[in-house]
């Protein structure tokens, strides 16, 4: 059902003698039975005419040069765009000029993908000259017209095609797929912030694995560290797949949490760089720390925010956790270091990593029980951080310790508490007194 704040706008345009069609993604979503996130309207009214029609509405004019006026209806933004055809795209992103039209067909012919090139009136009647409805029914991503021309006009459409294929679980039509590969270098012309946004949406889709496996050459344009991973045989009894295929499967296996899926894409990115061969196999000692360093460089280059960078690199740095009960003390301390939310995400990372190995790995059955054990320990008042210790630096200074010995003693006490030593001042001071030179 079309919301009242949208029909209010379409009815106003029609009352004044202009066309008013829902256009683009909202039509696609309606046909898929989804609730649109936003609504765009296409019309034969020029921007000046739109402003006149909605003179009593608040309007935003940032896109008026390209035919778009944003009208605020009942507190919601609705973009109203004049039918148009586009001129040359010198910057590979925006048309140098636009020519306004009086027919919806001209406007649909300039759009990126057929499934985004349909229009619909408020009675549900569809205008579709590009075959979008058929492609939607068949699960196909196809460019409107010549795909090389579409990508040459706006190179970000390359990433949009991959993103929609992942989000919707669709196949990319053959000619469009060939153009995605062939035009990939055009992505160098696009602002990294736009690339990062599309990459994130791709990773958060229903079917990222297939896109990651089929288009690593495209992603390598802006993440060149991917290229060495493609086809890199791990020669390990614990891995059935090459590094990049494992990464793709790990992304697919992870829950759709932004930092978790980004971490899965980057968790093994350093393996080709730190590979050594002996005993008939390949080994990747230290790849977790190096992958974290590379992840920080990649995310910084793509201008992800600092919080995302910090969280993802932490997840990558600790992704090699072995879900075994012998390590519970270390996990308790790690809980204190990461905090509850990120700690829980780390176990999602560990589970996805193990699920993507393609081997009979019994660890997948112990990951979540171990997480629950640590959470129960923390919830029960178990000590996980220095601030929770029953002793502090002042106590140890009074007991005769000084300088670096105080820090070492506190770390020792924290490990002891995490291993089950009662977190009581007398007990911990006695323990420290027996292992450090102090007067207790």
Dist. CA 431–CA 26, nearest whole Å: 66
CA atoms lying within 13 Å on the CB side of residue 175: 10
Q: What end-to-end distance do the CA atoms of the chain give, in Å?
A: 75
Architecture (CATH level 2) of domain 242-380: Orthogonal Bundle (1.10)
Closest CA to 242 of 220, 261, 226: 226
Question: Within its chain, how far is the Cα of 147 from the centroid?
Answer: 26
Query: What letters, b where the CB count within 10 A reaches 16 and e where it falls short, cover 325-357?
Result: eeebbebbbbbbebeeebbbbbbbbbbbbbbbb
Point out which residues pair with 71 in neighbouring strands.
59, 78
Closest CA to 226 of 162, 161, 295: 295
The pLDDT of residue 116 is 96
Dist. CA 31–CA 148, nearest whole Å: 27
Do 417 and 428 form a contact (C-beta atoms < 8 A)?
A: yes
CA 174, 175, 181, 183: dihedral to nearest 10 degrees?
-160
Do 234 and 282 form a contact (C-beta atoms < 8 A)?
A: yes
Concatenating the DSSP letter of every residue in 38-101 gives --EEEESS-HHHHHHHTTTSEEE-TTGGGTEEEEEETTEEEEEEE-EEE---TTSSS-S-EEE-
Dist. CA 78–CA 69, nearest whole Å: 8
Question: Within its chain, how far is the Cα of 125 from the centroid?
Answer: 35
Closest CA to 151 of 118, 121, 180: 180
Neighbours of 277 (CB within 10 A): 9
Residue numbers in the chain where pLDDT is lower than 70: 64, 91-93, 323-326, 360, 362, 437-440
pTM of the model: 0.89
CA 34, 42, 40, 56: dihedral to nearest 10 degrees?
-130
The pLDDT of residue 278 is 84
pLDDT tens, 57-104? 999 877 767 789 999 999 999 999 999 887 777 766 677 777 888 899
Q: What is the DSSP letter of 378?
A: H
Do 17 and 57 form a contact (C-beta atoms < 8 A)?
A: no
The pLDDT of residue 37 is 87
Closest CA to 7 of 24, 20, 25, 26: 20
């Amino acid at each position: 059902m079309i919301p009242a704040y949208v029909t209010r706008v379409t009815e106003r345009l029609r009352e004044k003698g202009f066309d008013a069609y829902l256009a683009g993604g909202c039509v696609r979503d309606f046909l898929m039975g989804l609730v649109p996130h936003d609504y765009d309207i296409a019309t034969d009214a020029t921007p000046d005419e739109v402003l006149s029609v909605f003179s009593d509405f608040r309007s935003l004019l940032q896109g008026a040069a390209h035919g778009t006026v944003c009208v605020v209806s009942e507190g919601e933004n609705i973009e109203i765009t004049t039918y148009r055809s586009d001129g040359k795209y010198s910057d590979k992103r925006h048309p140098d000029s636009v020519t306004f039209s009086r027919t919806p067909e001209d406007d649909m012919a300039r759009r990126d993908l057929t499934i985004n090139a349909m229009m619909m009136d408020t009675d549900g009647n569809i205008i579709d000259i590009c075959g979008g409805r058929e492609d939607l029914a068949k699960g196909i991503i196809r460019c409107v017209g010549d795909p090389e021309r579409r990508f040459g006009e706006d190179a970000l459409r390359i990433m949009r095609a991959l993103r929609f294929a992942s989000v919707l679980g669709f196949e990319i039509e053959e000619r469009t797929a060939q153009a995605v590969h062939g035009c990939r270098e055009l992505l160098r012309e696009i602002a990294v912030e736009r690339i990062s946004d599309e990459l994130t949406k791709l990773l958060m889709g229903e079917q990222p694995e297939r896109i990651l496996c089929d288009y690593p050459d495209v992603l390598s344009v802006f993440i060149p560290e991917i290229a060495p991973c493609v086809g890199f045989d791990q020669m390990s009894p614990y891995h059935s797949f090459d590094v990049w295929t494992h990464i793709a499967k790990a992304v697919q296996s992870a829950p759709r949490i932004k930092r978790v899926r980004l971490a899965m894409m980057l968790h093994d990115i350093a393996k080709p760089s730190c590979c050594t061969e002996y005993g008939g196999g390949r080994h990747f000692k230290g790849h977790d720390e190096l992958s974290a360093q590379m992840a920080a460089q990649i995310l910084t280059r793509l201008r992800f925010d600092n919080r995302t960078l910090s969280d993802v690199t932490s997840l990558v740095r600790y992704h090699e956790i072995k879900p075994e009960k012998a390590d519970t003390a270390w996990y308790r301390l790690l809980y204190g270091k990461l905090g509850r939310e990120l700690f829980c995400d780390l176990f999602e990372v560990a589970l996805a990593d193990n699920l993507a190995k393609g081997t009979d790995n019994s660890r997948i059955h112990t990951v979540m029980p171990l997480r629950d054990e640590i959470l129960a320990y923390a919830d029960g008042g178990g000590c996980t951080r220095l601030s929770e210790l029953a002793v502090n630096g002042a106590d140890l200074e009074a007991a005769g310790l000084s300088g670096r010995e105080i820090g070492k003693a506190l770390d020792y006490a924290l490990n002891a508490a995490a291993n089950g030593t009662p977190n009581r001042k007398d007990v911990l001071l006695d323990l420290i007194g027996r292992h450090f030179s102090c007067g207790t």
